[in-house]
Amino acid sequence: MNEKNKEHITIVGLSIVSALITYTLNVIVGYGPFIANGFVGILAALLLPKGLTAATYTASFVGMSDDFVIPSLTIAALAGLIVGIMIIITKPILAGWGGKGGTTAALSVVLTLAVINIFSL
């Protein structure tokens, strides 16, 4: 497996974990979206290499969703998977421009909801 594939697998894996941790802290534990997102962002900044921090922080935006939007950990994991794929696809596009992370996360949540509705999950 080449380095690019390893990086992509790592990004998708961290995206799923990030979305799940943020969702858990936000919805299940009840800390709310901002504390949950901040906690995951600080953890990522302290523990991960620079190239993975932004992807992890972007994925944590997904976990900020209310349980009305993302009703379960399973759906949060699916949204984490989708945002990880979106991060990889959009990485070369508008690199360094502000707002890309939030836009990517929001689009990923919308795509997750579309998948849920299409497949009646």
pLDDT tens column, 23-46: 999 999 999 999 999 999 999 999
Task: Strands of the chain (E only): list them.
Answer: none
Please name the residues in contact with 103: beta carbons below 8 A apart, sequence gap of 6 or more: none
pTM for the whole structure: 0.93
Q: How far apart are CA 92 and CA 38, in angstroms?
A: 26
12 falls in which pLDDT band (50, 70, 90)? very high
Sign of CA dihedral 114, 88, 4, 77: negative
The per-residue pLDDT for range 63-74, each reduced to its tens digit, is 999 999 999 999
Amino acid identity of residue 82, one-letter, is I
Amino acid identity of residue 95, one-letter, is A
Which tokens sit at 117?
A: 């509705």
The proportion of the chain whose per-residue pLDDT surpasses 70, expressed as a percent, equals 98
Q: Is 72 helix (H, G, I), strand (E, B) or coil?
A: coil
